[in-house]
Amino acid sequence: MPDAVIDTPPASVRRTGLGEALRWRMFRAMEQLSDWRGNNTQGVFSLSDPEARGPALWLYVTTIGELNAVAPMLEWLTAQRPDLRPVLITEHAHYREAYLARLPGAVVCLTRGHSGDARALAERLPPQLLALAEIPCLPSDAPCRFSYAFLREARRSGARTLLLNGWLYHYAPPARLDQIERRLLERDYLQALDVLCVQDANTAEHLARRGAPRARLQVTGNMKFDAMQRPGWQVSQARSPRLLGDLLASGRPTVVAGCVTELPEQRAVLGAFRRLLAQHPQALLILAPRHPENTERLQALLSLLQDEQLVAARRSELDDAPLPKQVQCLVLDTVGELRDFYAAAQVAHVGVDHNVLEPLGLGKPLTIQDGWNTTYPSYPVYRMLHDQGVLHTCTDEASLCAYWLAAVAQAPQIADDLRRTEEVLAAMRGSVARHQAACGAWVSAARG
């Protein structure tokens, strides 16, 4: 789909039609019935700053990884509109600290998407801009919930509405009320967005068929290839600068394994690390499980480390101080620190279905395993890099260890891999500039 020229209407034109109003009343009646039956989206609403008031920039970002992925665009938006208080909307309470570390001046709004929450937020922090990044492009299209109510309240407040880095999961709505919302309000949801920046032409065409105005669709590529660059990064910017700085200075052979969630892959990583220790007794494994707040999964990992007789420590139980030398495995059971700890790696491993660009952005050799899910947001990047032949897939612990040993030894193979990877990544950048060109008029119009 070719780039379109989007005309910006006057700021006062934000009304919905009679048909939308009727459909909204029907949905609200169903939501009220669900409330009477015990709707679990009620009673969650809270603000990190309960006293916050005034005009706002609403931001919906599904995870810490997605926040990092679209950070250059969010930083540009907040720089363009310093008069607006950023409000990060999330259903995940455990993201609050990491979100505020990334955007210290922001307010974090905790909600599960109830329309009453949308009204309450609009009364206290009325939006002039709303940005969705990068999902959901459709109601309940992902294992997260940004309800039409928030989009509708933004329009009622006169806000300009932007979709950034759009991509589709192709998930079915998980609950009956979500199914009703999509059936009744999908076209209204799409038509309430002023500009839809999507990753590829297939996504644009799919959304057009579902009701998105073609003139508002922009194919802007994947912003993650820009966000991975960290040219000005310094250890002092990390949340654990003393611990991380000591690791960087120590010279210990270090493997950082990020988002390794499933037990078989955890066993493969630990088995490979055991083999590495046989040749490098001072080696360190930094292992970051996905969702460390899941106590059952975390306890299973700690039991596995005990079975392997590895000396382990949990990051959450340590001060920001040099890591004791006897520790062989640091379990990174905090949220929002993994991206910085990749800096300490001689080699990185990324768990299946997660973000390979974070370690690549720091120039780290990387291993992965097979079995990636086509519906996950990490898949488009994985597929592109896999097709270009720059991801090193290992089938077992022996092949994992062999590549890690080559990385620790700085073998010529590793330098060749990194050079080819950088050439491929360089060719895929430029999405942030395309987003800014597509959204610039709407950001300026929001001042009206």
pLDDT at residue 67, as a whole number: 87
Mean pLDDT by 10 residues, the chain (448 residues): 45 68 96 91 94 97 84 93 96 90 93 96 97 85 86 95 91 88 96 95 96 96 86 85 95 96 94 97 95 88 94 95 96 91 96 92 94 86 92 96 97 95 93 96 78
Q: pLDDT at position 144, please?
A: 76
User: Cα–Cα distance between 342 and 231 in angstroms, integer?
Assistant: 15
Q: What is the pTM of this model?
A: 0.81
Q: Cα(first)–Cα(last) distance of the chain, in Å?
A: 31
pLDDT at 162: 97
Contacts (Cβ under 8 Å, ≥6 apart) of 23: 184, 185, 188
Q: What is the pLDDT of residue 327?
A: 97
Domains of the chain: 18-229+430-445 (3.40.50.11720), 235-427 (3.40.50.2000)
Q: Label residue 128 exposed, middle or buried (CB < 10 Å: 0-12, 13-18, 19+).
A: buried
The beta strand positions in 259-397, using DSSP E, are 284-288, 312-314, 329-331, 347-350, 366-368, 392-393
pLDDT at 157: 95
Q: Which of 128, 131, 147 is nearest to 139 (CA)?
A: 147
